[in-house]
Structure 1
Amino acid sequence: MTELSATGHLTIADHQLEYRMIGPSPAEAPTLVLLHEGLGCVGLWGDFPDRLAAATGAGVFAYSRAGYGASSPAQLPRPVDYMHREALDVLPRVLDAIGFRRGLLIGHSDGASIAAIYAGGVPDHRIRGVSLIAPHFVVEDISVQSIAAIKRAYETTELRAKLAKWHSDVDNAFYGWNGAWLDPAFRKWDISDHLAYIRVPVQIVQGADDQYGTLKQIEIAEAECCCPVETLIIAGAGHSPHREAAEATLRAVADFADRILEGHGEATYGYAA
């Protein structure tokens, strides 16, 4: 196990992955593990990790996957099953490296899909629940259309310069994600079969105006999951409710985490092994 400082890098296979650890360490309290979106990274979570740690008393761990933020670049092109690889090959190593003992996975967009794949594909008793912000379980036409549009924006507007402030190799970050989603083979991507194998409570938070997915994603989860599913649809929010409706999203995620952890006898400041 790596001794965690507040910030640093983890060596996972051939990559150096940047991370932030806010609040108590995994040895001292439950840990909320944040999994970022397809163009996200540690920095793009903003102050959400800090506020989540303050609201729950739990530790909050965020890391940038390979190709993002200050992590080492990913090999391109990404395969169409890249989220499965992140969930089943990389994430278990990250959890072991930080000494994860128990807590929740909290993912946004691609990160939410990765969390769902992990929870449904890895029998890990340490995971007590998953909170999914704007998840994708299947590919919709609206997803492909918006991702094609953002490619045009990246190549013709100031979007590339804006993203370059957050990613050390911005083309690696952007084209790794964008190229996989626009690969014709990706239209068959479907992780709904993983949902039936999730054995912990699930929360889904989605903006009513999400430009990358419809409420069909929630309908799939409600139909496929055997575990309890809580949903929150936030009016006026798009694909990033933790930024566009920060207070409502924070309250919902923090409340879910508190209830799940208390339900396992893990009161915020009374954590024991």
Structure 2
Amino acid sequence: MNWPKEITAGGKRLECRRLGPQPGEAPTVVLLHEGLGAMALWRDFPERLAAATGWGVFVYSRAGYGQSEAADLPRPLDYMTREATEVLPEVLETIGFERGVLMGHSDGATIAAEYAGSVEDFRVRGLILEAPHFFTETMGLAEIARAREVFATGDFKAKMAKYHDDPEATFRGWNDAWLDPKFKSWHVGEVIDYWRVPCLAIQGAQDQYGTLAQIREIEERSYAPVETLVLDDCRHAPHADQAEAVLAACAEFLARLERIEAAEPDAA
């Protein structure tokens, strides 16, 4: 079947790709990118994930990223919450999502976490969160401030232009929100209290944007099962820095979810 290369959600046109089995044939992993990410910046990870698991994989660029329609700027400081509660439900409905897992990286991990803790959706059976953030940290904000300097003085903008229609707007939408003085008090850890699905949390030991306090927040607050994977020689993008380890952990986690569901007599 030829899947559309774009959908409309949140009133915006969003570029997208679907790989592997259709929703009625197998569960689906929905990939949610980072704060400066896009569909293309997952590189070959979606294909490798589909091959390793036998699941379908859906990946898209949020508004303001990649080749998707521009976002409205400035972004509100609760932009991740709005993505989780206003846009993502429409995305899942539009693609015919029936059963599966949300896998997010950085901002995308926060969006997935907020969806699981804010929206009642029994189709979502688990979470895979890479480098999630639930509150600000001084070291992370300092790195984001350094990113602003690099963007203004180096070739970062030119590199971003390879993947984003408007790299200036993409960068400002993310950077300006995080460096707004009011954002220092941002904290959404309470959403974890409402999870009722298992979570695999992955973080690089050398993550430059967040410490393992973000992972401890999950471990201390979740009533549902939590598995953690902390990877050495790994910074903020585990699926890029330690692809083999991340793929193996994801495949094992998803296979275990399928075994658990197969053993439940009332599994959907």
Shorter-chain TM range is over 0.9
Q: Residue 83 of structure 1 is aligned with which of 55, 80, 83?
A: 80
Question: 1:17-48, CA deviations, whole angstroms, 9 ceiling, x for partnerless residues?
Answer: 00010101112210000000000010000100
Q: Is the 8 A contact 2:106 2:133 kept in 1?
A: yes
Rounded to whole Å, the distance in 1 between the matches of 2:126 and 2:252 is 12
Q: What aligned pairs does 1:1-273 form with structure 2 within 5 A after superposition?
A: 5-6=2-3, 8-265=5-262
Aligned residues: 265
Rounded to whole Å, the distance in 2 between the matches of 1:5 and 1:87 is 27
Rounded to whole Å, the distance in 2 between the matches of 1:7 and 1:215 is 39
Aligned to 1:269: none
Q: CA RMSD of the aligned region, Å?
A: 1.3
1:34 is paired with a residue whose SS is strand
1:68 is paired with a residue whose SS is coil
Pairwise CA distance, 1:53: 0.1
Q: Is the 8 A contact 1:128 1:261 kept in 2?
A: no
Q: Is the 8 A contact 1:5 1:21 kept in 2?
A: no
Question: Structure 1's 94 and 223: CA in aligned 2 closer, same or farther, altered over 3 A?
Answer: same
For structure 2, the residue ranges without an aligned partner over 5 or more in a row are: none
Pairwise CA distance, 1:144: 0.5
Rounded to whole Å, the distance in 2 between the matches of 1:244 and 1:7 is 31
Runs of 4+, deviation exceeding 6 Å: none
Question: 1:179-232, CA deviations, whole angstroms, 9 ceiling, x for partnerless residues?
Answer: 110011111111110001000001100000000000101111111111111000
Q: Is the 8 A contact 1:6 1:22 kept in 2?
A: no
Letter of the 1:113 counterpart: T
Rounded to whole Å, the distance in 2 between the matches of 1:261 and 1:184 is 44
TM-score (normalised: structure 1): 0.94
Letter of the 1:80 counterpart: L
Letter of the 1:255 counterpart: E
Rounded to whole Å, the distance in 1 between the matches of 2:201 and 2:141 is 21
Question: 1:102-161, CA deviations, whole angstroms, 9 ceiling, x for partnerless residues?
Answer: 000000000000000000111110000000000001110111001000111111111110
1:77 is paired with a residue whose SS is coil
Pairwise CA distance, 1:83: 0.2
Rounded to whole Å, the distance in 2 between the matches of 1:13 and 1:196 is 27
TM-score (normalised: structure 2): 0.96
Letter of the 1:142 counterpart: M
For structure 1, the residue ranges without an aligned partner over 5 or more in a row are: 267-271
Pairwise CA distance, 1:7: 5.2
- Identity over aligned pairs, percent: 53
Pairwise CA distance, 1:261: 2.4
